Amino acid sequence: MKQILFLCVANSARSQMAEGLAQALFGEKVVVQSAGSRPASGVNPIAIQVMAEKGINISSHYPKSVDTINFRDIDLVVTLCADEVCPPLPPKVKHLHWPIVDPGAAEGTAGEIIERFRSARDDIERRLREIVENRR
């Protein structure tokens, strides 16, 4: 596997956290990208905060449109949509679906919201570690 693409709708939280975590786990061995079908205007600041807790800086990331992606070069697409409709994929693309609820849509106290971001981050990290283990 040489290139992974993480997709969701806004490309502001889940896919950005996945991109940062995958870059940290795979290093230069894998090209990692993220995109969305309706990109937001920026990365969610709470996503940036919870990634910093792991020592991963995604503050320079920005939302990108799936329309800018060249799928010919992608080895694996991971969709992260749960309650939303994920972007359509070209046929014959290797695909994993991780239905992770969008923490950016969370409501509640500040503490409850940040815990939803941490939960999403940790779920993504666990799934990525499984990929790393299966590659050995």
For every residue of 35-69, DSSP letters joined together read EESS--SS--HHHHHHHHTTT---TT----BGGG-
Q: Which of 74, 81, 100, 120 is catalytic?
A: 81
Percent of the chain with pLDDT over 90: 79
Task: Give 119's DSSP letter.
Answer: H
Distance CA 48, CA 51 (A): 5
Distance CA 16, CA 78 (A): 12
pLDDT of residue 116: 97
Q: Which of 4, 5, 8, 32 is catalytic?
A: 8
Q: Please report, as a single letter, which amino acid is at residue 134.
A: N
Residue 128 is a catalytic residue:
no
3-135: CATH topology? Rossmann fold (3.40.50)
For 105-119, what is each residue's pLDDT tens digit? 889 999 999 999 999
Residue 36 is a catalytic residue:
no
Q: Which of 86, 100, 120, 128 is catalytic?
A: 86
For 33-60, what is each residue's pLDDT tens digit? 999 999 999 999 999 999 999 999 999 9
Residue 98 is a catalytic residue:
no
Distance CA 136, CA 130 (A): 10
For 61-107, what is each residue's pLDDT tens digit? 999 999 999 998 899 999 999 877 787 788 888 999 999 999 998 89
